[in-house]
Amino acid sequence: MTHGRAGFHYNYSMKDSQPPDLAPAISARYQQLAKRIQQLPPGGSRPLTVAGKVAGWITAKATAHLEGLPGICIEPEAVHITAAARQRMSLNSVLAQLAISLKDTGCLRGWRDELLDVIGEGQRLAVIERAAVRPLGLLTKAVHLNAWSPDGQLWIARRALNKSTDPGMWDTLVGGLAGAGENLDASLLRESNEEAGLLPDDLEYRSPLRIILRMHRRLPEGYQVEDVLVSDCVLAQSVKPQNLDGEVSEIKLVNISELWAMVEASEFTREAELVILEGLQKRMREGLLL
C-alpha cells in the first residue's frame, strides 16, 4: 500500500488482473516495436542544415518546391537554410515563407497555426509552423502521460476521427508535442489539461519525464524524428479525465488483460504502444507488475 495525496491510498498490486507469462511477451513486443520505428530517411532525402547546424532530412518533394526562395541554398549533397541578408529577412522569416510555399504546393498535411522549435546540434535555432516539420525531417519532442488508477488500471484515450494522423486509434491519456520555447514539464501540464482536463495538483506526484528513445520513422509527408518522453502517475479515485480540446472521442479505463489484448490487436498508435509497453516494463522492474 502506497500513500499519494493527503488522505489518499492506492494499491499497486495487479496480480489478479495480469495474464500469465506477460513479462516476456511485453519485453519481446517492445524490442520488436523499437526496431520497427528506427528507419532510414525517405529515398531522395538530403541532409538539412539551419544556420549552419545539422537539423534534419528534407524530402525530395519539399526540396523541389524551395528552389529560388530567399535564404535557401540547394546543393547536391545537402540543403542549407540561413537568414537572407539581402532581403533583410531573419531566419524565422525565411522559415515562415518556406512553410507557406510548402503549403501552397501541397507538401503539407493541413496547417496548424502552431510554432515548434527548430533544433540543430542540440541548440534552439528558430521556430517554424508545425505542419512543415515532417517534410523537413526536423526534431520534435513529444511528451506522454501514463495515468494509472489506484487499482492498477490504465487510462487511455481514443483519437478523434478528424485527426490528420492515426484517426480513431487509441492513445495514451495524454500525448503531444512541446511548443516553441516551451519547457517540457510545462508542455506536459498544458497537454494534460487540454486533453484530459487534469490540473497540476492531480499530477503532483508524477514521475519526472524520461526519454524512452529517439524515433526515426518514414511518413507519407516526410520523416518523423522525435524524442519520446513519458511521465507516470496514479490519479486519485475522484479524478475523472475529460477531454477539453475536441481531439479525443473517448476516454476509458482498461485492466491489464484488456490493455494487452488491445496491444496485440494493434489498436494503439505506434508511439502510444511504445510508451505503454515501456511503462509496463518499468512497473515490472519496480515490482508493481509481477
- Go through the domains of the chain in sequence order and give each one's CATH number: 2-39+139-285 (3.90.79.10), 46-136 (3.30.750.160)
Q: What is the pLDDT of residue 1?
A: 34
pLDDT for residue 289: 67
Is residue 159 within 8 Å of 269, Cβ to Cβ? yes
Residue 257 to residue 201: CA distance in whole angstroms: 30
Query: How high is the pLDDT of residue 167?
Result: 94
Helix (H, G, I), strand (E, B) or coil at 115: strand
| H or E segment and range at residue 127 | strand 123-129
Dist CA 12 CA 31 (whole Å): 25
CB of 143 within 8 A of CB of 188?
yes
Contacts of residue 69, defined as CB under 8 A and 6 or more positions apart, other chains included, come to 94, 97, 98, 101
DSSP state of 65: T
For the chain, the farthest-separated pair of C-alpha atoms sits apart, in whole angstroms, at 69
Report CA 123 to chain centroid distance, whole Å.
19
In the prediction, which pLDDT does 3 show?
A: 35
pLDDT, position 5? 37
For the chain, which residues score pLDDT lower than 50? 1-19
Q: Where are the alpha helices (DSSP H) in the chain?
A: 22-36, 60-64, 91-104, 133-136, 184-196, 256-264, 270-285
pLDDT digits (tens, 9 = 90+) for 227-239: 999 999 999 999 9
Cα gap 234→207, rounded to integer Å: 10
Residue 278: per-residue pLDDT: 95
Q: Alpha-carbon distance 241 to 192, whole Å? A: 9
Given the C-alpha cell 476509458, which residue does it identify?
Answer: 252
pLDDT at 66: 95
Model pTM greater than 0.85?
A: yes
Give dist(CA 169, CA 43) in Å, integer: 28
pLDDT of 21: 67
CA angle 240, 114, 119 (to 5 degrees): 105
pLDDT for position 283: 87
CA atoms within 13 Å, Cβ hemisphere of 29: 22
